[in-house]
Amino acid sequence: MTDLTKRLLVGRALRSTELHGQLLPKRIALPVFASDALSSVAYAPQEILVILSIAGVAAYTFSPWVAGAVIVIMLTVVASYRQNVHAYPSGGGDYEVATTNLGPNAGLTVASALLVDYVLTVAVSVANGVDYVGAAIPFVGQHKTGLAIVIVVLLTMMNLRGIRESGIAFAIPTYLFMGAVLFMIGWGLFRLLLLGEPLRAPTYGFDVRPEQVDLAGFAMAFLILRAFATGCAALTGVEAISNGVPAFKKPKSRNAATTLLMMGLIAVTMFGGIIYLGLKSGVTVADPAVAARDLLRPDGTPVGPGYYQDPIISQVASAVFGPDTVLFLVVSAVTALILFLAANTAFNGFPVLGSILAQDRYLPRQLHTRGDRLAFSNGIVILAAGAGLLIWAFDADVSRLLNLYIVGVFVSFTLSQTGMVRHWTRLLRTETDRAKRLHMQRSRVINGFGGVMTGLVLLVVLFTKFTHGAYIVCIAMPVLFLMMKGIRHHYDSVAAELAAPEGDGDLSMLPARNHAIVLVSKVHKPTLRALSYARATRPSTLEAVSVGVDQEESARLREEWDRRGIPVPLKILDSPYREITRPILEYVKSLRRRSPRDVVTVYIPEYVVGRWWEHLLHNQSALRLKGRLLFKPGVMVTSVPWQLESAGRLQGRPERYAPGLVRRPYGPSDAGEGQASPHIKA
């Protein structure tokens, strides 16, 4: 039943040889890897206006300059990462660039920043998507947190089905979003510039009560910088393509660079167009936490607690197409959908990065394993769990989550571009071809400019957002960094401890003798199986050991043992306090003390059951014993299973005969080839 459910949800398992069929053409790779960067235009312009509204609506005059600065940074980062995908097409992305050129610590810093940022990408995208749904369905707005977590679960299931299948499913909504928004911008510009028609957003004429009156000088500059830092959320997701180069069809680097350029141009157009139309149509927004009090209607009265603040794209769509029109509903619907699907960028980036880190022994090895659908399933599940926890902790509040956002991504931007400058400098020392040197010098200039710009943005982000929540990321990143260093130290220590000696082998590892012990509770089939198996291994000494909790039971066991004439000596350990585990441990320790070079092998008969509740009724003593014995040096633990009928119900048939008791003849039997021969007693 479990396997059937998994097949229905995830799909049939894929062979490793089918991995090439999961590679993506550019038309599918664009929505898979660019949905995060494209969807950020749904909230980055609004957050710029929200921050500026602290000084009142008059401060909106600075928004075009803030947006222009964000666009310059975006184009710079896109140009810089086009150099990255050509130089490092293996999929390591910023982590590989930083590790190769700046050292392992820089690489781990980038990795910790990206892992945190990927989790935030899912949380922010899904929470903002729920906001857009809430604009049309009030019930959703009242239950944002629960719905957002449900959406994360659905996205997880879709990504567990594999990158190509999820990419095809996400391609249509992404292209619909791009088409709808670009058409909205084009139609809005046509109405404004050619027809001369005014645009009126639902909040046209509204005002915002300033939280601080008469901001000037340093305070105003700080507010503008804070708006700029928040608007730089539009750059998130740019690095995902550099991490996903191996998922592209050949030629991988060129296809990735082309996709990156397409994504950058589309995102810049959409970001700038929404800001421009929002200002021209009179969009007015305030911090959701104080909107009921500080957002004022044209008559000067507060909107009140029952007011739901529509997102900026919904307001622009209302101004361009008219409220409640079909096109308005289409824009709102595809925007909400793309925000949900934008999390898919992180679902593709986080597992790949986790796999590379696991391969380098900085994360558990399980993250390097592909699942049934050739996706890194463990990484997908961990990402979903982290995002769901953040959504729950911050009540799916986009403004609060954005304060944690983009710190990590600009750390990775800055270190990556610095690493690329060193990469080109190292190559220039040995390159003699003039044309190649010119190309390298141009690339170094691009990456150098990108490193300076992203470094400045990082300083601005830390300066303006630290006390508003960025400090949480500044704590989480070092904790993750130290955790990965600790995991690597553990793996290195284990590898050194387990390293095989050089030459023909160390004969000192060969034990002098093997003392075998078979644990006995009563004489039944599992006990006889364990005794037979222990005898077949030909140990130096063999004895059966039982714990005498009840004198009468011990006497009956001794009597039956002697009556059957079992050719293995039985030793009954006294247990005045009715313990089972401790007497056996003490006896095993006494054997080890007597001869430290010998090994002790403990054979434990166990039942194999088929129903979940039967596990609670059997093997508990065996489980405790194994858990304690595994920590004893020089002690080997062997489980000898016996399948009960409930286990046979699942696997085919219960076990009725010991191995070797029924044999097949060397040639075809009289009953026909392939049929069982009569029982032959050994």
pLDDT band per the 50, 70, 90 thresholds, residue 602? very high
177 has a pLDDT exceeding 60: yes
Q: Using CB atoms within 10 A of its CB, is residue 168 exposed (0-12), middle (13-18) or buried (19+)?
A: middle
Q: What SS3 class is residue 548?
A: strand
The mean per-residue pLDDT over the stretch 119-144 comes to 76
pLDDT at 496: 82
Per residue in 206-218, pLDDT (tens digit) is 888 887 655 556 7
pLDDT band per the 50, 70, 90 thresholds, residue 678? very low
Which of 297-300's residues contact partners 24+ apart within 8 Å by CB, and which partners?
Answer: 297/206, 298/205, 298/206, 298/207, 300/207
Q: Is the distance from CB of 526 to CB of 534 less than 8 angstroms?
A: no
Sheet holding 570-574, edge to edge: 570-574, 541-548, 514-519, 599-608, 635-643
Relative to beta strand 295-296, strand 207-208 is antiparallel
DSSP string for residues in 167-190: HHHHHHHHHHHHHHHHHHHHHHHI
DSSP string for residues in 467-490: GGTHHHHHHHHHHHHHHHHHHHHH
pLDDT at 681: 32
571 has a pLDDT exceeding 90: yes
Q: What is the DSSP letter of 518?
A: E
Tell me: cis bond preceding 251? Omega within 30 of 0 counts.
yes
Relative to beta strand 295-296, strand 599-608 is unpaired
Class for the domain spanning 20-416+457-490: mainly alpha
Give me the residue spans of the domains in the chain: 20-416+457-490, 513-651
How far is the C-alpha of 317 from the C-alpha of 188, rounded, in Å?
9
36 has a pLDDT exceeding 60: yes
Q: Which of 20-24, 156-160, 256-260, 515-519 has the highest mean pLDDT?
A: 515-519
Assess whether the region 20-416+457-490 and the region 513-651 belong to the same CATH fold: no
pLDDT band per the 50, 70, 90 thresholds, residue 587? very high
Under the phi-then-psi rule, with left for phi > 0, alpha for psi from -120 to 50, and beta for the rest, what region is 559? Answer: alpha
Q: Which of 99-103, 613-617, 647-651 has the highest mean pLDDT?
A: 99-103
How far is the C-alpha of 142 from the C-alpha of 131, rounded, in Å?
10
The mean per-residue pLDDT over the stretch 372-398 comes to 81
**Window from 95-99, 426-430, 460-464, 535-539 with minimum mean pLDDT:** 460-464
Relative to beta strand 570-574, strand 541-548 is parallel
666 has a pLDDT exceeding 70: no
Nearest alpha carbon to residue 90 among 359, 476, 291, 402: 359
Contacts of 213 (CB under 8 A, 6+ apart): 56
The mean per-residue pLDDT over the stretch 518-547 comes to 91
Under the phi-then-psi rule, with left for phi > 0, alpha for psi from -120 to 50, and beta for the rest, what region is 627? Answer: alpha
Residues in the chain: 682
Q: Which of 30-44, 459-473, 585-599 has the highest mean pLDDT?
A: 585-599
Instruction: Locate all alpha helices (DSSP H) within 470-612, ordered by sequence.
Output: 470-498, 525-536, 551-564, 581-594
pLDDT at 161: 67
Architecture of the CATH domain 513-651: 3-Layer(aba) Sandwich (3.40)
Name the token pair of 217: 């000088």
pLDDT at 80: 82
Question: Which has the higher per-residue pLDDT, 216 or 359?
Answer: 359
Q: Is the distance from CB of 230 to CB of 53 less than 8 angstroms?
A: no
Please name the residue that has the structure tokens 């003392």: 515
pLDDT band per the 50, 70, 90 thresholds, residue 668? very low
Q: Which residue spans within 404-483 are E strands per DSSP? A: none
pLDDT at 669: 39
The mean per-residue pLDDT over the stretch 392-396 comes to 84
Query: What percent of the chain shows pLDDT beyond 90?
Result: 17
Contacts of 22 (CB under 8 A, 6+ apart): 14, 162, 163, 164, 247, 374
The amino acid occupying position 665 is P
Average per-residue pLDDT in the chain? 80
Cα distances from 282 to residues 2, 74, 291, 322, in angstroms, run 55, 26, 17, 14
How far is the C-alpha of 160 from the C-alpha of 152, rounded, in Å?
12
What is the number of other CB atoms lying within 10 angstroms of the CB of residue 280?
19
131 has a pLDDT exceeding 50: yes
pLDDT band per the 50, 70, 90 thresholds, residue 54? confident
**Window from 40-49, 118-127, 209-218, 438-447 with minimum mean pLDDT:** 209-218
Under the phi-then-psi rule, with left for phi > 0, alpha for psi from -120 to 50, and beta for the rest, what region is 364? Answer: beta
